[in-house]
Structure 1
Amino acid sequence: MYELTGVTRRYIRGKGVVDALAGVDLTIAAGDYLVIKGPTGGGKSTLLQMLGGLDRPTSGSVLLDGVDLAKLSEARLTRLRSEKIGFVFQSFNLIPTLTAQENVETALVPLGVKPKERRERAAEALTSVGLGERLGHVPSELSGGQQQRVAIARALVKKPRVLLADEPTGNLDESTRDEIMDVLRARCKEDGLTFIMVTHDSHLAEHAPRAVTLRKGTLSSS
């Protein structure tokens, strides 16, 4: 699935240079459930962006199914993200004027899915995360946990192979956090997805089958 070799991401800040990632090597097999933990500013989100093809390394390679993401054109990279990778973020990133169903449908537009099929698949995805009766509600009519469920349905509706989650429960209370994690784990297991999550929550890391720590751009096993 993923093979990262010597991945470095360097930023110029003022007159200095900062290595957000400093020679990261990481292998992630298909179907893995991996948590990336570590302090704020340690490079966790940068690493997730590399895995999602949202950023390119300064040096090193990020292979997904043998394809080096850093060497793809922007058009091919965009297509790959649309087809293979689902994203869930701390901020739900829902369009406030669209209903839950319409928000989920937006993930299918770049894939050229016809309107009737988009509606059916969006409704099915929302039902799978427990929101079958909330299809017509706009985000302001939903709780934080429900909005995150919409975001999860939007990530899953295109049937990706990988689900990347960046602090997906960071804006939720503990009870809602546990509910959302139950949904994520259940959906990933049922769909056979590779699930990679960034979190600073030690509770979530402790309950993951595999966890690594990223500190000052350097990766270590947990």
Structure 2
Amino acid sequence: MYELTGVTRRHTRGKDVVDALAGVDLTIADGDRLVVQGPTGGGKSTLLQMLGGLDRPTSGSVLLDGVDLAGLSEARLTEVRGEKIGFVFQSFNLIPTLTAQENVETALVPLGVKPKERRKRAAEALASVGLGERLGHVPGELSGGQQQRVAIARALVKQPRVLLADEPTGNLDEATRDEIMDVLEARCEEHGLTFVMVTHDSHLARRAPRLVTLREGVLVPS
């Protein structure tokens, strides 16, 4: 699935040069469930952006199914993200004026899915995360946990092979956090997805079948 070799991401801040990633080597097999933990600013989100093709390394390679993402054009990267990768973020990123169903459908528009099929797949995705009766609600009518369920449904409706989650429970209370993790784990198991999540929450890290720690851009033993 993924093979990262010598991945470095260097940023310039004024006169300073900062390595967000400093020579990361990492293999993620098809169907892996991996949690990346570590302190804020340690490079976790940068690593996830590399896996999702949202950023390119300063040096090194990020292979997805044998193809180096860094070598692809922006147009082809967009296609790969649409075909293979779903994203879940801490801030939900829902469109406030659209209903839950319409928000989920937005993931299918760039793929050329016809309206009737979009509606069907969006309704099924929302039902799979426990929101089958909330299709017509806008985000402001939903709780934080329900909004994150909509975001998960939006990521899953594309039928991706990889689900990448960046602090997906960071804005939620502990009870809702555990509910969302149950949903994520169940859907990944059901669909056989490769799942990579970054978090600073040690409780979530302990749930992971595979755990790595990223500190100052370097992977260290967990």
Confirm or deny a common fold (TM above 0.5): yes
Which residue of 1 is the match for residue 116 of structure 2? 116
Question: Which secondary structure state, in structure 2, belongs to the residue aligned with residue 57 of structure 1?
Answer: coil
Which residue of 1 is the match for residue 198 of structure 2? 198
State the TM-score, normalizing by the size of structure 2: 1.00
Question: Which secondary structure state, in structure 1, belongs to the residue aligned with residue 53 of structure 2?
Answer: coil
Q: Quote the Cα distance in structure 2 between the aligned partners of 1:98 and 1:180.
A: 22
**1:72 is the counterpart of 2:72:** yes
Q: Quote the Cα distance in structure 2 between the aligned partners of 1:152 and 1:85.
A: 12
Which residue of 1 is the match for residue 18 of structure 2? 18
Gaps of 5+ in 2: none
Which residue of 2 is the match for residue 106 of structure 1? 106
Which residue of 2 is the match for residue 48 of structure 1? 48
Native 8 Å contact 1:161 1:194 kept in 2: yes
Q: Which digits, 9 at most, give the CA deviation of each residue in 1:68-124, with x for residues without a partner? A: 000000000000001100000000000000000000000000100000000000000
Q: Which digits, 9 at most, give the CA deviation of each residue in 1:30-82, with x for residues without a partner? A: 00000000000000000000000000000000000000000000000000001
Amino acid at match of 2:216: K
RMSD: 0.4
Native 8 Å contact 1:211 1:221 kept in 2: no
Which residue of 1 is the match for residue 174 of structure 2? 174
1:221 CA displacement: 3.0
Which residue of 1 is the match for residue 35 of structure 2? 35
Amino acid at match of 1:155: A
Question: Which secondary structure state, in structure 1, belongs to the residue aligned with residue 154 of structure 2?
Answer: helix
1:220 CA displacement: 1.8
**1:91 is the counterpart of 2:94:** no
List, as ranges, runs of 4+ consecutive aligned residues in structure 1 with deviation greater than 6 Å: none
State the TM-score, normalizing by the size of structure 1: 1.00
Question: Which secondary structure state, in structure 2, belongs to the residue aligned with residue 181 of structure 1?
Answer: helix
Counterparts of 1:51-62 in structure 2 under 5 Å?
51-62=51-62
Native 8 Å contact 1:165 1:198 kept in 2: yes
Identity score, percent: 88
Q: Quote the Cα distance in structure 2 between the aligned partners of 1:103 and 1:68.
A: 31
Q: Which digits, 9 at most, give the CA deviation of each residue in 1:163-191, with x for residues without a partner? A: 00000000000000000000000000000
Q: Quote the Cα distance in structure 2 between the aligned partners of 1:98 and 1:221.
A: 44
